[in-house]
Structure 1
Amino acid sequence: MNTYRNIHARQQKHGRSRKKRTGHLLHFILPMLCLILLLCTLASYILNRAGAGLDVISPISSLFHGSARDEISHYASSHGYDISDYPQSLIDLYDRNRETKDFVFEYPMKKSKTPPIDLSDLNTSTVPLLMQWDQRWGYQQYAGDLFGLSGCGPTCLSMVTIYLTGNTDRTPAWMAEFAASHGYASDGNGSYWSLFSEGGSSLGLDVTEIPLDEQRIIDNLQVGNPIVAVLGPGDFTTTGHFIVLTAYQDGQIKVNDPNSRENSEKLWDYDRISGQIKNLWVFR
């Protein structure tokens, strides 16, 4: 009888120990699962907002979105198209920049349309943000490619001109025709730098090329003079790109990046972007 009691007591003790260990394990696992779910949700949100210049996260992005080609192929087949209807350059654009989803996905059905362009409701008290891949002009040809891929230069000049003159007729589409007709479009390479120095002057703007000097940049931005910058590889591009420096706030620089709303919503440290800047033009 004593032996039976001892065995029974040990079984009860072991059972309580197992329950205790299981309880401790659950207390550890459940918070970890919640944390993982939270991190995945946060990462998905960040990646949904990822813009140009973030090529480094493309492999991570694919974990949440699937590959760009697969997403576009699925959309195309569900709308009566095929992945072969998309230029590889557009697939690559979406892979780099998920902001361009509508522009890329709807390419087959909208590429031949010419919607009316009315920018009269733009707020011109600050430099307006316009995107080169806006569907109203992004599908037209410029410099041997789609404007949405090659039109950062005319888009920047359009933003600056509209801000300084208040003339909202100087849309990116208008500026593309102006650049092409005056020899500022470089086939396969976007825009020549002379689009800003010569082209800006011919549009009646006061244009001054300035050196890369932090205080001079700050002084111009503080009095409302936008600055067009041409950039090399870095945060904004893997090749070359034009952006507009628009303001100086809290010791940092605000930019209008015609390829990324994400970049345009940030403030940038001078030291972060100065090494990427190849040339600067101040507009008044």
Structure 2
Amino acid sequence: MHKVDWVQANGTWLRFAEDGVSASAATGTVILVHEMGGTLDSWDEVVPYLADQYRVLRYDMRGFGLSQKIFGPFTVDDAINDLVGFIDAMKVEGPLALVGAAVGAGVAMRVAAQIPERIGALIALAPATEIAPERLAGARAMPGRIVELGIRRLVDEQIAPGSYPEQLRDNPERFRRFQAQQSSMDPESFAATFGMLLEAKYLPYLGGIKCPTLVIAGEFDKTRPPAMVEPVARAIPGARFEVFPSCHFIAMQAPDLVGKKIDSFLTEVLH
């Protein structure tokens, strides 16, 4: 099964894709939540590892892809309510696993803490949490850089060199898709989401996560290096921590490793 459509969640139109087996035949449901600047297509190479036994749902977060764009203030609570609303709108019942990347991982962690009785497993790839004090000045300047450089130059001069380094560009088609996806961002929505990150709180909520959790860092990630991600895992009761030979966009840069790891982890903890 493969279906792409729109659904209204938390009063917002979200584009989603549904793959895998029917809800009645599935072992459980997996919801994939992409990174800032990404779309549901970020998971294209991961989905085949899960579609044989799970109902696999993914959506364009508000402001990205073909979902409704962001106008005005946007908070982490808005993103949380979008995901909870998506779970409700898609009538998810039974075992549910959340898998998030970067900003999507931060949102997934907050949702797992907010509705622990509904989440059976959590996997967080390079999760975005509070911005370190020494990085705040640079982060606060980012919305202005978007205006100054434009999205295309921002991707070519800052995002790609820092988050998709040369040593990981062995698959030209994969890197081309990354460039195209990031360069197609809506600048206002990107700036609003970055502004959300400046104010969002995550760490105080991590102790409320009750489900089996796996946190993964990218070995070459300078945005969320392993030394920054490991304390996140330690703050979640019983969470495991692993490092993959990747950078910040782990699901796009190491999809085979990610797909196999999600499958094996969920086979262990969700069945």
Higher relative CO (CA 8 A, sep ≥ 6), structure 1 or 2? 2
Task: Bin the TM-score by the shorter chain.
Answer: under 0.3
Structure number with higher strand proportion: 2
* Structure of larger gyration radius: 1
**TM-score normalised to structure 1 length:** 0.27
**TM-score normalised to structure 2 length:** 0.28
Structure number with higher helix proportion: 1
